[in-house]
Copies of this chain bind each other. A is one copy, B any other.
Amino acid sequence: MEMPHCDTCGSRHKSVFCSLSEQEVNNVDASKGCNIYDRGQVIFHEGNRTNGIYCINKGKIKLFQLGSEGKEQIIRFAKAGDIIGYRALLSEEPLSASAEAIEEAVVCFIPKAQVFSLITDNPNFNFKLLKTLSHELGEAAKIITDLAQKPVRERLAETLLMLKDTFELNEEKTIQVKLSREELANIVGTATESVIRLLSEFKKDEMIALEGRNIRLLNIPELTRVANIFD
């Protein structure tokens, strides 16, 4: 594999690393290691320790926890420019989730020492980290309230809109990520059959179109109404 350079990494400027000096970018470059992961390959395992953070150069990643019955709960997604594994590194706790590529991905590993030296020496990086963590915590609180209070139909509509925001639509209004019905169920927090049924309903109501795992959002205002989102 050809090692990608942070220098030429397209997503660096909209990432947590956007404020790094040339010298700092070179330091990160020198200390990092990169890997290609095929669809389905695991980047790290829940419960393990981490000695650095992972930066997504290319591809799409799902982060999930295993529930007590061995069922996956997808906590969030990461894509080019995002970092993963920082929560465990900073809290000095084991990884709270596993990370798995949902399409071919290139992921760089930045060792702990490098991360901590950036935190110490680059206030902008530090504030970016604080901001990322705080933002994620706010998102998590919203998800908690939704899971606790909204019925499955609303949560599925909301999930489709979240996937649109995260991965965007192409020209044909198709969400740019392919997930199985089971994976959708593992975001929504429901049974696979319920997702299948509700997707069929959304299709019948012409809110979406289905072509295999591709989902086209035909009527976003109506999906928003179903999701019961007021903000």
User: Which parts of A132-158 form the interface with B (CB within 8 Å)?
Assistant: 133-138, 140-150
Cα–Cα, bound, A142→B88 (Å): 14
Q: Are B73 and A144 interface neighbours, CB within 8 A?
A: yes
A189 contacts B by Cβ under 8 Å: yes
Q: Do most interface residues of chain A lie in helix, strand or loop, or is the interface mixed?
A: helix
Residue of B nearest to A129 (CB): B130
**Which single member of B120, B142, B228 contacts A96 (CB below 8 Å)?**
B142
A96 / chain B contacts, CB cutoff of 8 Å: 137-138, 141-142
Complex-state Cα separation, A230 to B73, whole angstroms:
17
Cross-chain contact A133 with B135 (CB below 8 angstroms): no
Bound form: Cα–Cα A122–B207 in Å: 53
**A23 shortest CB reach to chain B, Å:** 20
Between A88, A130, A228, the greatest number of chain B beta carbons within 10 A of the residue's beta carbon is seen for A130
Q: Are A145 and B90 also in contact (CB < 8 A) when A96-B138, A130-B129, A133-B133 are?
A: no
- CB-CB < 8 A to A137: which residues of B? 87, 91, 96, 133, 136-137, 140
